[in-house]
Amino acid sequence: MSTRVLVVGAGCTGAAAALRLRQCLGEAASIHVWEKARGAGGRYTTSRDAYPDGLKADMGAQYASVDPDDDDSVAVMRDVVDAGAAELVNPESLCTSEERPPSFQHYRGMAGQNGIVKAMLNAAKADVAYERRVNKLDAQGPLWRATAYDGTAEKFDAVIMCVPGIGPGGDNLNKIHGNWERLMNQCYWSTLEAPHDCRYSVALWLEKGHHEALSKYFGSAAEKRAKSDFVELIYWQSRKDGEAAEGPQVIVVHTPQGAKGNKQQAEPRMVADACRLVGIPKSAITSKKIITWFQSQVQPGSNEAKASSLVAVQQPPLVLAGDYFTASTFTGCVTSAFAAVAEAAPLLEGFQPRKAKVEAEQAAPSSAPEDKQKQSTRWGTRGQQKESGEGVQPRKAKVEAEQAAPSSAPEDKQKQSIRWGTGGHQKESGEGNTRCNQCKKSAKCFKDTSDGKMYCASCWKDYYGTSPMAGA
């Protein structure tokens, strides 16, 4: 059976993680992506189809910003460009912002910004399921059981969660429950927070005949920074996309950081300010759409001390990734995604390290303690790789070895129960029998604190893959 890996989230980080998994695990691996929305993109979301004349609007990030000195993100974007999904833009048409360092290169999606994400998912040959939002994630023996709100439940060898960290938004780690929350070291939770901008974004579809007013306001640029209580940036989407001047147009408006109130209050204020600034009547608007970005860009400099990803659980592998570890740029997303895969992939069957790197390590053995330490952690496995350089022990072999060497020591039993996702999640019911919530039979039951229900030993083992620990 091929290795199965779940990537949670089909944004830029999730797509980059899926792509890197394919590169590391090969064609035999089964890579799945679950996305809560109707399409890919995340903050690279693009609205289209339902609006007049089929003109699209990029509601989040308008461009993908790439650090030319970062080899990984440069290589990924080069492949996206070669696939016809993106093109480099002239920086003179852009306004400056903290999220766009002067040295970076900026790319627009040829069919919308979400086309960049789709190109990476296509290259990854991933099985993508949309409108599938993860509800629970539970370790069961050597596997993860992911349960979606639509009732879908599947098991995976590893999971990489590429959703926003802890914060005020409604689509972040706070909403994914299960025993992974308790298996993760509690001190890690503070590292999952990062200050974000909170903004509203409004797209306005305009009837034809207003190109002259737009040209007067924007000049030769495709975007402009505004001075208003309710508008900070205005993008001329149609100019960016090369739409005909005589036809209908689309502009996208963003509020300043720290937007307050609700979108019902924000929308009319933003629309009024945008029309006044650009010099068009409200009657020119044929359609509009507003999005609330509770966790928009990560505020610059807020995550300088962080690693690029986090191993939440070693076995089965669960790694967290996202721009909240790095920066809200294309390079930031790719950096976090690649770091997450560097942690997870060596623990899975089918992992093939890059040949040149392996040969270089074998050609330069070292007996120095510090070199051995570097070698053991070079692949990001946090001590899981053998220091001898023989490679990572395949997951199945590792499980069999552990099962073949049982220990009667109480502390070893406790470690084993924690490793497979049962530690801290069961509790004896007390004297006498009670009714199992699963099979409904009267038996000695144990409380699963992840859902608060009681289960007999047989049902517990069917779900978690191991018996509940007596006396827990």
Q: CATH number, domain at 260?
A: 3.90.660.10
Tens digit of pLDDT at every position of the chain (472 positions): 789 999 999 999 999 999 999 999 999 999 999 999 999 999 899 987 566 678 999 999 999 999 999 999 999 999 999 999 999 998 888 887 766 778 999 999 999 999 999 999 999 999 999 999 999 999 999 999 999 999 999 999 999 999 988 777 667 888 899 999 999 988 888 788 777 778 899 999 999 999 999 999 999 999 999 988 899 999 999 999 999 999 999 999 998 887 777 888 889 999 999 999 999 999 999 999 998 887 777 766 666 657 899 999 999 999 999 998 998 899 999 999 999 999 999 989 778 665 434 454 455 554 444 443 332 222 232 223 333 333 334 444 443 444 444 443 333 333 333 323 333 344 444 446 888 888 888 888 888 776 778 888 888 777 776 777 543 3
Domain residues for the domain of 256 are 199-293
Residue 357 lies in a domain: no
* Res 104: pLDDT: 94
Same domain, 226 and 113: no
Q: Which of the listed residues 347, 369, 384 is the one where a domain comes to its end?
A: 347
Pair 468, 414: CB distance under 8 Å: no
Rounded Cα distance between 156 and 29, Å, is 11
Same domain, 208 and 166: no
Q: Which of the listed residues 277, 312, 347 is the one where a domain comes to its end?
A: 347
Angle formed at CA 402 by CA 400 and CA 407, multiple of 5 degrees: 140
Residue 388 lies in a domain: no
User: The tokens 């290795």 sit on which residue?
Assistant: 3
> Per the confidence metrics, is the pTM higher than 0.85?
no
Rounded Cα distance between 239 and 86, Å, is 16
Same domain, 240 and 265: yes
The amino acid that residue 410 corresponds to is P
Same domain, 111 and 252: no
* Res 93: pLDDT: 82
Q: Which of the listed residues 273, 293, 313 is the one where a domain comes to its end?
A: 293
Rounded Cα distance between 320 and 336, Å, is 9
Same domain, 19 and 154: yes
Residue 51 lies in a domain: no
* Res 306: pLDDT: 76
Pair 317, 380: CB distance under 8 Å: no
Which CATH number do you get for residue 178? 3.50.50.60
Same domain, 84 and 216: no
Residue 471 lies in a domain: no
Rounded Cα distance between 425 and 453, Å, is 11
Pair 32, 4: CB distance under 8 Å: yes
Same domain, 221 and 289: yes
End-to-end alpha-carbon separation of the chain, Å?
Answer: 34
Query: In terms of C-beta density within 10 A (0-12 exposed, 13-18 middle, 19 or more buried), how is residue 154 classed?
Result: middle
Residue 121 lies in a domain: yes
Pair 375, 30: CB distance under 8 Å: no
Q: Is 191 helix (H, G, I), strand (E, B) or coil?
A: helix
* Res 311: pLDDT: 95
Same domain, 154 and 210: no
* Res 249: pLDDT: 95
Cis peptide before 369 (omega within 30 of 0): no
Same domain, 141 and 14: yes
Angle formed at CA 52 by CA 51 and CA 54, multiple of 5 degrees: 75
Same domain, 9 and 149: yes
Token pair listed for 454: 């009681």
For residue 256, CA distances in Å to 293, 296, 350 come to 12, 11, 47
The amino acid that residue 332 corresponds to is G
Report the greatest alpha carbon distance in the chain. 82
State the total domains in the chain.
Answer: 3
User: The tokens 């929350």 sit on which residue?
Assistant: 181
Residue 76 lies in a domain: yes
Token pair listed for 94: 């852009």
For residue 355, CA distances in Å to 24, 348, 436 come to 11, 17, 52
Q: State the virtual CA torsion across 374, 378, 384, 385 in degrees, nearest 10.
A: -90
Residue 40 lies in a domain: yes
Same domain, 162 and 306: yes
Angle formed at CA 155 by CA 173 and CA 1, multiple of 5 degrees: 140
Of the candidates 416, 411, 431, 409, the one whose C-alpha atom is nearest the C-alpha of residue 468 is: 416
Residue 387 lies in a domain: no
Same domain, 260 and 144: no
